[in-house]
Chain A
């Protein structure tokens, strides 16, 4: 009888609660009002579209990071992965347009492999993901410097850069639609659909309580490894867009991992897993970018950016933490 009972119960996995998205929408609205007061031009369709295109890489990274965080892990390697991808792309393409597509595919594969390695080390060797991805960070940064003798070589082709810097011009109503924005919209929809699928529910269940998930027949290690692969793929796409937009440098991805984690947390996703929506994570990234734009408009010096960023994060997280604990 005891063996029958668990089977007769349907597999109950927690739903992704959309409630967590409201606070970030409120913050976003406040920032938009502040922008509208200071710089009404910014809200004109074409400049808004450009802004969204520019924000695409960090939004994608936040989505990738979301998969890992909601499953209960961390990915600190994405920033270094972006740097590595951009440098590798420049050296392999070396200005030759014919190599664009093969290199794009190679970068996606590279991202997936790094994610796979992160995932397998974390789940199979039971190394905490903080350490796994920190080690990967050191390895990638060291390897990319080593491979290029300390200075980036080669250059990206115009075809490659198109994704990050060009747009479809003269679109009615919207003005212009950057390619990066199109990529973002497609992938964002895919991410939302993924989180609504069985895999998404399983991912949240694994983050909420790995033991329960395991006992309900979920292969926790496989689910988490897939999350890491998704994060690696997101980093690859972000690198393609970022390389196109701002060119090749060793600083291309510096600090992006913390930016992405911040965005995810700002979007109401709990570190430690099991709670939050992918839309929240992406909105968190958008909010962070809007905040930086706003600081530009108000003439806050670049150096003070991080202070304001730090203060906002602490405030947002502290407010949401005290609210949820009083409930």
Chain B
């Protein structure tokens, strides 16, 4: 059984990277014909920045989706985290560490609530995280009209804008988080249990996995990732932003990136490497369209088509394999 559940976990990974390579090559050619240059310093940097923000959320989202759950509250967690971080820092470097700690703690608490609702109260994950999202939305809407707090200058200079060559520090953070998540999924008991729970909760339970504990952990990790994304966004924006999560459509886009990356929405199959591929694909399309100065609304239409098409391709392959 373990061989069965592990094998397909690796197979979908190359698919998204083939698509990514094709997109980049075609995009590069089209931009070249258009008289631009896709891979100059500033486009690459902004591409990686976009990928870092979405990527942090999507890696966390991968964990809950693998476990057969889902998190629609991430967008609000992100906004909340930017505010907690920026308001605690209040422009001084002294409060940097406590602020980061507090933002992550608040995020983890939201994840715990999500997890408990899904497991102990048996609320469908879609409704549970939507409800928790609404709770947070009410708090954000009633408490804040606009940006609040000031991010500490050190954080802005490091996580926000520092880079090594064309690679921003934030992207390295994404690489580190992805590496940790990959390790947790493929080399630890938690990871194997999570995939088992997502594949078939009943079988997992009968094999001695404590489903509830595994799922709650996944939800806490997912919210922590969203909180981390919030801290990163606060470092970019210089303040807390009460609507940055929802306006960036981080909830739906992160789920889209996970699914494009080959993780099954029903759980039990997939991995974080594919997710990062999905994130890079979405970010590259963004960068190419920006270079071509395509209308922002048209971009969104194309985005919708690509998300559906990518998943349709996976579904076709899965069907052929099954046949």
Contacts and interface: CB of A to CB of B under 8 A. Distances in A.
B252 interface: yes
A146 B297 contact: yes
Contact of A321 (B123, B126, B302): B123
Judged by DSSP, the binding face of B is helix
B134 A306 contact: yes
Interface in A272-327: 272, 301-311, 313-314, 317-318, 321-322, 325
A127 B308 contact: yes
A141 interface: yes
Nearest to B300: A142
A265 B127 CA distance: 8
Interface of A: 74, 121, 125-128, 130-132, 134-139, 141-143, 145-146, 150, 258, 261-262, 265, 271-272, 301-311, 313-314, 317-318, 321-322, 325
Nearest to B295: A146
A145 B138 CA distance: 27
B297 A150 contact: yes
A135 B134 contact: no
Nearest to B312: A125
Contacts of A121: 308, 312
A146 B304 CA distance: 14
21 contacts: A126-B316, A127-B311, A131-B307, A131-B311, A138-B307, A139-B300, A139-B304, A261-B126, A261-B127, A261-B130, A265-B124, A272-B124, A303-B141, A305-B138, A309-B134, A309-B138, A310-B131, A313-B130, A314-B127, A321-B122, A321-B123
Contacts of A150: 297
Contacts of B295: 146
B39 interface: no
Contacts of B312: 121, 125-127
Contact of A145 (B297, B304, B311): B297
B305 A135 contact: yes
A271 B130 CA distance: 13
A181 B134 CA distance: 29
B301 interface: yes
Interface residues of B, number: 43
Contacts of B132: 310, 314
Contacts of B252: 134, 137
A136 B304 contact: yes
B131 A303 contact: no
Interface string B183-213: 0000000000000000000000000000000
6 interchain residue pairs of minimum CB distance? A307-B138, A310-B134, A142-B300, A138-B304, A303-B142, A139-B304
Contacts of A314: 117, 123, 127-128, 131-132, 135
A304 B138 contact: yes
A318 B301 contact: no
B163 interface: no
Contact of B256 (A131, A139, A261): A131
B297 A143 contact: yes
